[in-house]
Amino acid sequence: MKARFLDPSEVARAYRDPLSLVSLAVDLVPVIAVFAFGWGATPLVALYWLENLVIGAFTILRMIGTALDSFFSLAMALFMVPFFFFHYGMFCFVHGIFIRAFAAGEDGGALEPVSLVHWALGTAPEMLWFVAAIIVVSALYYAFDFLWRGEYKASNPQQEMFSPYGRIVTLHIAILLGAGVAFSLNEPLAGVLLLIFIRVVFGMFQAVQRHRKRDARMEASPSVVGDDA
């Protein structure tokens, strides 16, 4: 079987789903922030870090949600949610200190999570609106995919717990590549746009993976509620 990463036909099919289109629009919103509001690297990476926090919160909801279909999943969730909260929280905290020092050139400031969140929200006046858009999209995915389309039936707390980490690694790589371009070419805008581009491509990959999972669920149970062709 031929390996595929982003098959154009799969991408087109994935984006026939309105929710995928909404997600793509939110992924492209930082382009507006750059050209309309003059965002640089600092508010951009702060936005992506705040998105990590939103994803972490919805991951906890998904871990708990798997208990809707299994008492065993409930037992797993009661054990794994506190572990995830601590481990992912520490991961995000260290990551936040890194991006504040790397993007803003600061020494880290007060080493506490609340001050880090305040710093991220204060990097741009428009930040709250962009974070709100991310929360809305995440809530739609949770409501439609996870609950209505029954994704929780094919998942468990362990699977959900590990799902956000790939995105954080991708963001780290994007920051390093973007900084490398900005410094080597002496073009900060090029680095910022590269960071956005990597994030958008990762979002496209997630959209294709989401559609592949839906196809697999439909093959396993053709009567799954809410799935379409």
Q: 193 in a domain, yes or no?
A: no
For residue 58, which of 143, 1, 176, 177 has the smallest C-alpha distance?
143
Q: 1 in a domain, yes or no?
A: no
Q: 97 in a domain, yes or no?
A: yes
Query: Would you state the pLDDT for residue 229?
Result: 41
Q: What average pLDDT does the segment 81-89 reach?
A: 93
Return mean pLDDT, the chain: 83
Query: Would you state the pLDDT for residue 104?
Result: 56
The residue with tokens 């006046």 is 125
Query: Would you state the pLDDT for residue 141?
Result: 92
What is the per-residue pLDDT across 43-61, written as a single tens digit (0 to 9) for each? 888 999 999 999 999 999 9
Q: How confident is the model at residue 83 (pLDDT cuts 50, 70, 90)?
A: very high
What is the rounded distance in angstroms from the CA atom of residue 169 to the CA atom of residue 180? 17
Which tokens go with 18?
A: 């309105």
What is the per-residue pLDDT across 134-154, written as a single tens digit (0 to 9) for each? 999 999 999 998 988 888 887
Domain count within the chain: 1
What is the rounded distance in angstroms from the CA atom of residue 161 to the CA atom of residue 206? 16
Q: H helices of 38-70, where?
A: 41-65
Q: Which long-range contacts (CB under 8 A, 24 or more apart) does 67-73 make?
A: 67/157, 68/152, 69/152, 69/153, 70/156, 73/156, 73/157
Asked if residue 4 has pLDDT above 70, the reply is no
For residue 46, which of 116, 114, 108, 138 has the smallest C-alpha distance?
116
What is the rounded distance in angstroms from the CA atom of residue 98 to the CA atom of residue 81? 25
- pTM for this model (two decimals): 0.84
Q: 95 in a domain, yes or no?
A: yes
What is the per-residue pLDDT across 98-135, written as a single tens digit (0 to 9) for each? 888 876 565 555 568 898 999 999 999 999 999 999 99
Q: 10 in a domain, yes or no?
A: no
Domain with 158, as residue range(s), is: 18-162
Which tokens go with 119?
A: 């710093």
Q: 5 in a domain, yes or no?
A: no
Q: 197 in a domain, yes or no?
A: no
Q: 80 in a domain, yes or no?
A: yes
What is the per-residue pLDDT across 186-199, written as a single tens digit (0 to 9) for each? 677 888 888 889 88
